[in-house]
Homo-oligomer: A and B are copies of this chain.
Amino acid sequence: MASNDRTAKALRKWRVDAADAAFSVESFDPGAKPLGSGNKSADKARVEALAAELDELQNLFYADGRHKLLVVLQGIDTSGKDGTLRAVFGRMSPIGVRTVAWRAPNEAERARDYLWRIHAQVPAAGEIVGFNRSHYEDVLVPVVEGWIDEHTARQRYAHINDFERLLCETGTVILKFMLHISKDEQRRRLQERIDDPAKRWKFKREDIGVRAKWDLYQAAYSHAIGATATKHSPWHIVPADSKTQRNLMVATVVRDTMRRLDLQFPDEDASLRDLKVS
């Protein structure tokens, strides 16, 4: 089942695929349910079905071996990057699927350009790689913290566009998702981490400091997305206050993208046809 026209049309509104200096994430509603059926348990079942379909597609993607797929997940703390990776990639075979969670760079990484460690982890032919955070942290955090000026930020947007064009022109499909939650929803989720002993390990004191810079981060996301949205490497803004809706959108976009690749099992070896294993 490919997305029907109505789904495709709904998704287009959340897709950003051209540079736009005036782009603002704040014009997108984090509580929207563009793919929702109005029935939560039906939507959950659709996510399950999509995950199963993605498992089959990944098997074919690996066998086909002609493409590379890079899925970038960005979003502020508690926006659900881990949960989305589990929901979308969780059923797939570990052979041919890999996720990378990016942390602050180590000493060896800081000694090179900021794309060095990213390039090292790009997908190989037939491979799907999911990034939990990414090189976009290098145009979000330093901008908000004032470590780089506007000139350097612009240079970095250009570096990133160049880098992603290299990947695309050499066979990589890139899908970038910004998991978009409201400030209220973040408050609820942070509080839940503090209150729930089983989730407390996820909470770090500095999360509060980052939350205090909410508006700066929203602005930094808007600039970064507006500067790095291209036809070949689009952004998708994902309304993520509802986990089910979030998973539904990301899984649908990934599924539709993989479907469009016209994946094929390799030509069968005709000499095998009459082979009897003795």
| Residues of A bordering B, CB below 8 Å | 68, 108, 111-116, 119-120, 122-127, 155, 159, 162-163, 165-167, 169-172
By the criterion CB–CB under 8 Å, are A120 and B120 in contact? yes
Give the residues in chain B near A126, CB-CB below 8 Å.
111
By the criterion CB–CB under 8 Å, are B163 and A166 in contact? yes
Q: How far is the CB of A227 from chain B (nearest CB, A)?
A: 16
Among B113, B124, B159, B166, point to the contact of A122 (Cβ < 8 A).
Answer: B113
Separation of A161 and B119 alpha carbons in the complex (Å):
16
Separation of A108 and B125 alpha carbons in the complex (Å):
9
Separation of A133 and B8 alpha carbons in the complex (Å):
48
6 contacts between A and B (CB under 8 A): A68-B112, A111-B125, A113-B171, A159-B162, A162-B162, A162-B165
By the criterion CB–CB under 8 Å, are B172 and A113 in contact? yes
Give the residues in chain B near A169, CB-CB below 8 Å.
155, 159
Separation of A116 and B123 alpha carbons in the complex (Å):
10
Among B108, B111, B116, B167, point to the contact of A113 (Cβ < 8 A).
Answer: B167
Separation of A236 and B159 alpha carbons in the complex (Å):
25
Interface centre among A108, A123, A126, A170 (most CB of B within 10 A): A170
Q: How far is the CB of A104 from chain B (nearest CB, A)?
A: 17
Nearest B residue (CB) for A124: B111
Interface centre among A112, A169, A171 (most CB of B within 10 A): A112
Separation of A68 and B111 alpha carbons in the complex (Å):
9
By the criterion CB–CB under 8 Å, are B159 and A115 in contact? no
Nearest B residue (CB) for A166: B159
Nearest B residue (CB) for A120: B120
Separation of A125 and B116 alpha carbons in the complex (Å):
13
Interface centre among A122, A126, A162, A172 (most CB of B within 10 A): A162
By the criterion CB–CB under 8 Å, are A116 and B122 in contact? yes
By the criterion CB–CB under 8 Å, are B170 and A114 in contact? yes
Q: How far is the CB of A58 from chain B (nearest CB, A)?
A: 17
Give the residues in chain B near A159, CB-CB below 8 Å.
162, 165-166, 169
Give the residues in chain B near A171, CB-CB below 8 Å.
113
By the criterion CB–CB under 8 Å, are A166 and B108 in contact? no
By the criterion CB–CB under 8 Å, are B170 and A113 in contact? yes
Give the residues in chain B near A113, CB-CB below 8 Å.
122, 166-167, 170-172
Known contacts A162-B162, A163-B166, A169-B159: does B115 contact A122 (CB below 8 Å)?
no
Interface centre among A120, A166, A170 (most CB of B within 10 A): A166
Nearest B residue (CB) for A168: B113
By the criterion CB–CB under 8 Å, are A166 and B170 in contact? no
Q: How far is the CB of A89 from chain B (nearest CB, A)?
A: 20
Given contacts A113-B122, A159-B166, 10 further A-B contacts (CB under 8 A): A108-B124, A111-B124, A111-B126, A112-B124, A113-B167, A114-B170, A115-B166, A155-B169, A159-B162, A159-B169
